């Protein structure tokens, strides 16, 4: 069953979403060569707590940190560590915050210093694919329309759409029904209704779409070691479209 949020629940989710986007803004200033992902994790954790929320990911399924930080060929679920970011890296930062029991969730991939034209291309088109997916959402659309819009857009650029991981409903649980895949057929899948809240999150690889999980049992990496990008917004479904709750 897909939850329809009440207006009071939506108010809390708007605050949670704002805390997530503010945390991104706060971290972005610090994403430079030399900083470790553990330092970024601490900055995010402190910021979320000062904002009156708690980090959604800490302890979720046993995840050991407040944010996911995935560098280059790491797709998602990278564990913050003492590894220093280097000039030319890209780093995907996924942030979740829970405010009075309700979650917001947003990921963004950042360049570190000066990146290659290939990585720039990957970032631009992954971000745009998120917006292509968001464009088709409104009450009466179906979940398959979203994945279809994302994969149709990405097909033009010969990039790999990761299929093993998907977007999701969100509310008083971080992951709720429905699954929101980044591929699919139009007019198929669950019906979207006013008051549903979903996280749409394309994960796109510069090479093959194939991925595997590393020995740490968390970090998902590309099978061919090519770089990967991840952009995610939490959005409220409205009668005529969406409201982005994690707007930057
Ligand atoms: Mg996320
Ligand atoms: Mg998510």
Which numeric CATH code is attached to 7-244? Answer: 3.90.230.10
Predicted confidence at residue 13, as pLDDT, reads 98
Q: pLDDT, tens digit, for every residue of 84-114?
A: 999 999 999 999 999 999 999 999 999 999 9
Strand segments, DSSP code E, in the chain are: 54-55, 67-71, 74-76, 90-99, 102-111, 160-161, 167-169, 176-180, 197-200, 203-205, 211-213, 220-222, 228-230, 233-237, 242-244
- How far, in Å, from the CA of 184 to the mean position of ligand 2? 18
State how far the Cα of 153 lies from the Cα of 212, in Å rounded to an integer: 24
Q: Locate 158 and state its tokens.
A: 């010969």
- How far, in Å, from the CA of 94 to the mean position of ligand 2? 8
Q: pLDDT, tens digit, for every residue of 153-194?
A: 999 999 999 999 999 999 999 999 999 999 999 999 999 999
- How far, in Å, from the CA of 189 to the mean position of ligand 1? 22
State how far the Cα of 13 lies from the Cα of 235, in Å rounded to an integer: 10
Q: pLDDT, tens digit, for every residue of 44-83?
A: 999 999 999 999 999 999 999 999 999 999 999 999 999 9
- How far, in Å, from the CA of 31 to the mean position of ligand 1? 18
- How far, in Å, from the CA of 2 to the mean position of ligand 2? 16
Average pLDDT in the chain: 98
State how far the Cα of 1 lies from the Cα of 170, in Å rounded to an integer: 12
- How far, in Å, from the CA of 22 to the mean position of ligand 1? 15
Rounded to two decimals, the pTM is 0.98
Contact yes or no for 118/99 (Cβ under 8 A): no
Residues 137, 25, 62: CA angle, nearest 5 degrees: 75
Contact yes or no for 167/181 (Cβ under 8 A): yes
State how far the Cα of 29 lies from the Cα of 51, in Å rounded to an integer: 18
Contact yes or no for 241/193 (Cβ under 8 A): no
- How far, in Å, from the CA of 113 to the mean position of ligand 2? 26
């Amino acid at each position: 069953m897909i939850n329809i949020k009440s207006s009071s629940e939506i108010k809390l989710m708007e605050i949670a979403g704002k805390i997530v986007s503010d945390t991104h803004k706060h971290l972005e200033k610090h994403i430079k060569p030399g900083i470790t992902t553990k330092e970024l994790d601490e900055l995010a954790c402190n910021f979320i707590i000062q904002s009156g929320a708690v980090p959604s990911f800490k302890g979720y399924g046993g995840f050991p940190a407040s944010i996911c930080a995935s560098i280059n060929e790491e797709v998602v679920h990278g564990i913050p560590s003492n590894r220093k970011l280097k000039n030319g890296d890209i780093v995907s930062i996924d942030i979740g915050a829970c405010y009075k029991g309700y979650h917001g969730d947003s990921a963004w991939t950042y360049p570190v210093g000066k990146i290659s034209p290939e990585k720039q291309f990957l970032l631009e088109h992954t971000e745009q694919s998120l917006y292509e997916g968001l464009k088709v959402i409104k009450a009466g659309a179906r979940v398959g329309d979203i994945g279809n819009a994302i994969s149709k857009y990405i097909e033009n650029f010969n990039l790999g759409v990761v299929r093993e991981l998907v977007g999701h409903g969100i509310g008083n649980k971080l992951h709720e029904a429905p699954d929101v895949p980044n591929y699919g057929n139009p007019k198929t899948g669950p019906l979207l209704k006013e008051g549903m809240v979903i996280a749409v999150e394309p994960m796109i690889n510069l090479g093959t779409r194939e991925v595997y999980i590393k020995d740490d049992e968390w970090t998902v990496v590309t099978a061919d070691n090519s770089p990967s990008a991840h952009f995610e917004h939490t959005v409220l479904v409205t009668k005529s479209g969406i409201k982005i709750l994690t707007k930057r």
